[in-house]
């Protein structure tokens, strides 16, 4: 099937726009395990189908590995017959993993389950016939009674659900070093990008040579997406993917210029630098700000840093009231060697206990609506509230808004801009990418 028709049947951008609102009525503060009593094992055998279950992710290092280990621990408890085989490939945002996965899938050598993103990214696998529906698992987990219906819509193509969501991350967050902001006497979050740039000048004047940290290309794409969101507003930003907003209009040009200006306050990054390099600069007092998804919370926790005393956060200036959304979700590949074991894994990642254990370790919030917020740290409780009440935007860098091929062209354009800082050239390349891929 043609990509465009899949995209229309998914209705990604439109669905994302209503995502948080839809979940708002269903989030509860009840028993953390409330959902688990309704879950029925999709596997035929108690204790699991048995055998090895190869799980492919990019959660290979540091705080992300701790998140995967939390899932692994729960898997062992709930499915003692099964043997978890960790197939993780290092590199944030799947920067290395996705190429390895594509080769394995093309060679008919799939893992038993792999990490994908809710939204446009899933279409790549569906259109190639590489993953199969998992409606029975979603049903056994409690279906629309426990997952926001609009999130399920992002996983649904032609009436079939193609993956099980494990979590929801927010991408438009600035992480701050408390001491450096105090040094520059900055007390309040800036209201827009221009005010943020003024604060960066204050930091420079106070002797902070690197106000902002960045890492390799995909982190730059994420920074750019948040500046687009700030300058366009949520509706016009979402319109970039549904065709309603031109990529060569004055708003995108303004955002690209802002983005270039922000980079002038940042360190010099290498293409291959992974996200912890930039986040650690804030942790270690070498930079005041880093824009990163809220997997950064797990990094602060791992380094024993305290919110308020050592670090804090605010939405990227100009995006307060918008939740830039992405959701990890796990698939059942066609030809998986152990489909029964894979379904056990899917039951685990979609179950209430698995989601609690994983999200506590990962910095994200549960995709389920029946996991109690009380046991989560302050940041995640705030994220749960924002997800319920904010407008929702779809992340470019993390598979929600654009296909992998479109993202690849955006990444090439952003990488080129990093070298030459040609704003008109970036607008032209982004426009060409949209014309090529938006269908």
- Contact positions toward ligand GAL, by CB under 6 A? 58-59, 64, 92-94, 117, 169, 275, 293, 295, 326, 328, 398
Q: Based on CB atoms, which residue is closest to ligand GAL, 61 or 104?
A: 61
8-state DSSP, 269: P
Q: Based on CB atoms, which residue is closest to ligand GAL, 117 or 343?
A: 117
Which H or E run contains 165? strand 164-165
Give the three-state DSSP class for 306.
coil
* DSSP codes of every residue in 121-150: HHHHHHHTT-B---HHHHHHHTGGGTS-HH
Q: Based on CB atoms, which residue is closest to ligand GAL, 227 or 326?
A: 326
How many CB atoms lie under 10 A from the CB of residue 295? 25
Region at 251 (left for phi over 0; alpha for psi -120 to 50; beta for the rest): alpha
Q: CB 99 → ligand GAL: shortest distance, Å?
A: 14
Q: Based on CB atoms, which residue is closest to ligand GAL, 219 or 234?
A: 219
Q: CB 347 → ligand GAL: shortest distance, Å?
A: 20
Q: Are 380 and 373 in contact (CB under 8 A)?
A: yes
Which H or E run contains 409? helix 404-420
* C-alpha–C-alpha distance, residues 105 and 96, integer Å: 15
Q: CB 109 → ligand GAL: shortest distance, Å?
A: 23
Q: CB 57 → ligand GAL: shortest distance, Å?
A: 8
Q: Based on CB atoms, which residue is closest to ligand GAL, 131 or 181?
A: 131
Q: CB 326 → ligand GAL: shortest distance, Å?
A: 5
Q: CB 235 → ligand GAL: shortest distance, Å?
A: 24
Q: Based on CB atoms, which residue is closest to ligand GAL, 326 or 433?
A: 326
Q: Based on CB atoms, which residue is closest to ligand GAL, 90 or 432?
A: 90
Given the structure tokens 């930039």, which residue do they identify?
A: 278
Burial class, 107, CB count within 10 angstroms (exposed 0-12 / middle 13-18 / buried 19+): exposed
226: Cβ contacts below 8 Å, ≥ 6 apart: 171, 172, 291, 316, 319, 324
Q: Are 386 and 170 in contact (CB under 8 A)?
A: yes
* C-alpha–C-alpha distance, residues 101 and 123, integer Å: 15
Q: CB 95 → ligand GAL: shortest distance, Å?
A: 8
Q: CB 31 → ligand GAL: shortest distance, Å?
A: 26
C-beta nearest to ligand GAL: residue:
92
Q: Based on CB atoms, which residue is closest to ligand GAL, 200 or 224?
A: 224
Q: CB 366 → ligand GAL: shortest distance, Å?
A: 13
Q: Based on CB atoms, which residue is closest to ligand GAL, 330 or 418?
A: 330
Which stretches within 312-377 are classed as H helix? 339-350, 352-362
* C-alpha–C-alpha distance, residues 429 and 439, integer Å: 16
Q: Based on CB atoms, which residue is closest to ligand GAL, 162 or 265?
A: 162
Question: What is the signed CA dihedral for 19, 60, 103, 409, rounded to 10 degrees?
Answer: 50
Q: Based on CB atoms, which residue is closest to ligand GAL, 170 or 258?
A: 170
**Which of 384, 418, 415 lies closest to 397 in space, CA to CA?**
415
* C-alpha–C-alpha distance, residues 309 and 146, integer Å: 36
By DSSP bridging, strand 289-291 and strand 212-213 are parallel
| Token pair for 311 | 């670090």
Q: Are 93 and 58 in contact (CB under 8 A)?
A: yes
Give the three-state DSSP class for 244.
coil
| Token pair for 403 | 């296909």
Q: CB 64 → ligand GAL: shortest distance, Å?
A: 5
| Token pair for 397 | 């860098």
Q: CB 171 → ligand GAL: shortest distance, Å?
A: 9
**Which of 158, 138, 137 lies closest to 148 in space, CA to CA?**
138
């Amino acid at each position: 099937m043609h990509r465009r028709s899949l995209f229309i049947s998914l209705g990604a951008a439109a669905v994302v726009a209503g995502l948080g609102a839809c979940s708002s009525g269903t989030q509860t503060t009840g028993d953390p395990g409330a959902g688990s009593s309704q879950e029925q094992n999709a596997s035929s055998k108690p204790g699991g189908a048995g055998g090895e279950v190869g799980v492919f992710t990019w959660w290979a290092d540091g705080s992300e590995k701790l998140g995967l280990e939390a899932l692994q621990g729960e898997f062992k408890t709930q499915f003692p017959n099964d043997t978890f085989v960790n197939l993780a490939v290092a590199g944030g945002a799947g920067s290395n993993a996705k190429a390895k996965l594509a080769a394995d899938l093309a060679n008919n050598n799939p893992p038993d389950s792999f990490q994908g993103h809710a939204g446009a990214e899933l279409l790549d696998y569906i259109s190639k016939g590489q993953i199969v529906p998992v409606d029975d698992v979603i049903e056994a987990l409690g279906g629309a009674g426990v997952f926001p219906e609009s999130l399920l819509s992002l996983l649904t193509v032609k009436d079939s659900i193609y993956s099980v969501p494990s979590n929801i991350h927010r991408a438009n967050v600035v992480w701050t070093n408390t001491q450096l902001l105090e040094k520059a006497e900055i007390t309040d979050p800036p209201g827009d990008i221009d005010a943020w740039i003024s604060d960066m000048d204050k930091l420079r004047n106070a002797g902070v040579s690197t106000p902002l940290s960045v890492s390799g290309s995909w982190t730059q794409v994420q920074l750019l997406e948040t500046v687009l969101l700030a300058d366009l507003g949520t509706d016009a930003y979402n319109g970039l993917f549904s065709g309603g907003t031109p990529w060569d209009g004055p708003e995108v040009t303004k955002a690209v210029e802002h983005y270039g200006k922000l980079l002038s306050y940042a360190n010099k990054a290498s293409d291959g630098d992974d996200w912890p390099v930039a986040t650690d600069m804030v942790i270690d007092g070498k930079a005041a700000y880093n824009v990163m998804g809220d997997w950064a919370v797990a990094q602060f926790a791992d380094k024993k840093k305290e919110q308020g005393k050592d670090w804090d956060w605010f939405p990227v200036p100009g995006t307060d009231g918008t939740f830039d959304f992405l959701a990890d979700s796990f698939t059942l590949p066609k030809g998986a060697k152990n489909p029964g074991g894979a379904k056990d894994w899917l039951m685990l990642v979609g179950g209430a206990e698995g989601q609690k254990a994983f999200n506590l370790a990962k910095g994200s919030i549960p995709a389920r609506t029946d996991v109690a917020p009380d046991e989560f740290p302050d940041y995640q409780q705030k994220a749960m509230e924002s997800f319920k009440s904010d407008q929702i935007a779809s992340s470019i860098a993390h598979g929600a808004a654009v296909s992998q091929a479109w993202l690849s062209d955006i990444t090439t354009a952003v990488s080129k801009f990093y070298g030459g800082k040609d704003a008109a050239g970036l607008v032209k390349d982004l426009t060409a990418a949209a014309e090529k891929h938006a269908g």
